[in-house]
Amino acid sequence: MGSVSFDTYVHRESVIHRWAPRLKLLSLLGLMFAFATVQNLALVPWILALAAVLYGLSSLPLSFLRRRLSYPGLFIVAVVVLLPLTVGDTVLGQWGWLTLREEGLRAALLIVGRFLSILTLGFVLLGTTPFLTLLGAMRSLGLPTILTDMALLSYRYLFEIAAMLTTMQQAMGLRGFGHRRQGWLRVNRQTLEHLALLTGNLLIRSYEQSERVYKAMRLRGYGQGSAPRQSTTPRPTALCWGLTGAVGAAAIALVAAELSWLR
Amino acid sequence: MHIPDGILSAQVCAAGYAVTGLATWYSLRQINRRSDPTADIPKASLLTAAFFVASSIYIPVPPASVHLILNGLLGVVLGYFAFPAILIGLFFQALVIGHGGLTTLGVNAAMMGIPALVAYHIFQARTSLGRGLKEPTRTGVFAFLGGALGLGMATVIFVALIILNIPAELDGQAERTAVLALAIAHIPLALVEGAFTTVLVLFLRRVKPELLEG
């Protein structure tokens, strides 16, 4: 986990990078939900094309998308493999015991099309907006202070705690943990206990660190009422409004096309 | 056990956000009733990060390994902070590794977070319902129930959502078989999660009991 960085490409120059964070967040989330409404397979090329255009405009390298798409999850893999072979009555082809069915294939293509396009938009949003700016935009849109503060502090200590766990696991390995062979399909009680104690130690260390952090924050005035905030956010430019309008229009057109198809 | 983007319809995703909004509002209301609500924020935040990292620990069950969910344990340790913690943890997972998704964040948070709140109440009930048991058996039993039911409830919600949303062409018998198979496959995982939670909670009770005050 330590090798994955949130903010690698956020300082590049592109129209998507220059898009005002609040408008970008609302527009892209709206478009993601419009993508989720798609049930008609004929609309899938359109949503993939829209996601590709926005990704192209964001100037993010293809390697960024490829690296992140390498974690599609077992569930999507199961959908792609199982649905075309198990669901539906219309047989498209048969090879021995393998039967390719049209209904299952259509369902799998629809799910994978939506998955790829929504995920790509998510990466456009997260790859072009610094994490702190994104949280600031969420807060200005009404996210409660407790949630923002928790997200900021968790983000601050996430990689530190991950490094702590790696060190602790290395120490366990050096003391011989994991070197003994275990029986198949059996949970070794001692292994379970050792891993539970490892997690317990991680929690205690994090808890003790949190007490030090809290004292330091109190000394700096945390919880004493917030200072008047000065608005430093620049006014959205015509380009921002143009992008917002175009993405909003695309989202509305998709939903309208889906509704007209349903009728 | 995340539901990725693209699986659920927009209506279900929106309903997920509505339920998560309601559960977050309820949790924050309970937190704000404390004399100093900000006092526990650093503890909850660091433990959120620790849980997020700890969920990457795998229990070896040769020839594979079992990935821990820890939502029941989160409920037991964090109390009402568990729901916001899960919401933030899932947001990080969507952000860092693309697990879950932004449209399904509400559904996933409700699926993991509401069982965590139930696990918290189960663990708290040890003082009233577990009066017949002696310590540390009482803490151990209720920790096991919290850990196992946390995962068990999340599994039931996950299976129900998937079966109701994929795809219409499946016949009823196939659906029932799939539900049963998935539910049975998760029973050993719930037991492992329960046993893990028990060992960990008994360790915390011995070494750092204030962590279990919720």
Is the minimum CB–CB distance between B8 and chain A shorter than 8 Å? yes
Could A153 and B42 be called an inter-chain contact, meaning their C-beta atoms sit closer than 8 Å? yes
Could you say which residues from 121 to 140 on chain B have a Cβ atom under 8 Å away from some Cβ of chain A? none
- Which residues have C-beta within 8 Å of that of residue B66, sequence separation ≥ 6? A187, B58, B59, B189, B192
Q: Residues A145, A139: contact at Cβ < 8 Å?
A: yes
* pLDDT for position B39: 79
* CA distance to partner chain B, nearest, from residue A118 (Å): 6
Ranges of chain B whose pLDDT falls below 70: 62-64, 166-176, 179, 214
Could you say which residues from 19 to 48 on chain B have a Cβ atom under 8 Å away from some Cβ of chain A? 24, 28, 31-32, 36-39, 41-48
Residues of chain A contacting B95 with CB distance shorter than 8 Å: 6, 126, 131
- Kindly report, residue by residue over A14-24, the tens digit of the pLDDT: 889 999 999 99
Q: Model ipTM?
A: 0.87
Of A42-56, A184-198, A199-213, B166-180, the one with minimum mean pLDDT is B166-180
* CA distance to partner chain B, nearest, from residue A171 (Å): 15
* Helix/strand/coil for A167: helix
Nearest to B101 by CA among A204, A150, A114: A114
More confident residue, A92 or B175: A92
Cα B155 to Cα B160: distance, rounded to the nearest angstrom = 8
- Kindly report, residue by residue over B57-113, the tens digit of the pLDDT: 877 776 667 778 889 999 999 999 999 999 999 998 887 777 778 899 999 999 999
Could A115 and B4 be called an inter-chain contact, meaning their C-beta atoms sit closer than 8 Å? yes
- Whether this prediction's pTM lies above 0.80 is answered by yes
Exposure letters A199-233 (e unless 16+ CB within 10 A, then b): bbbbbbbbbebbeebbeebeeeebeeeeeeeeeee
A44: amino acid identity, one letter: V
Q: Binning pLDDT at 50, 70 and 90, where does residue A99 land?
A: confident
* pLDDT for position A250: 95
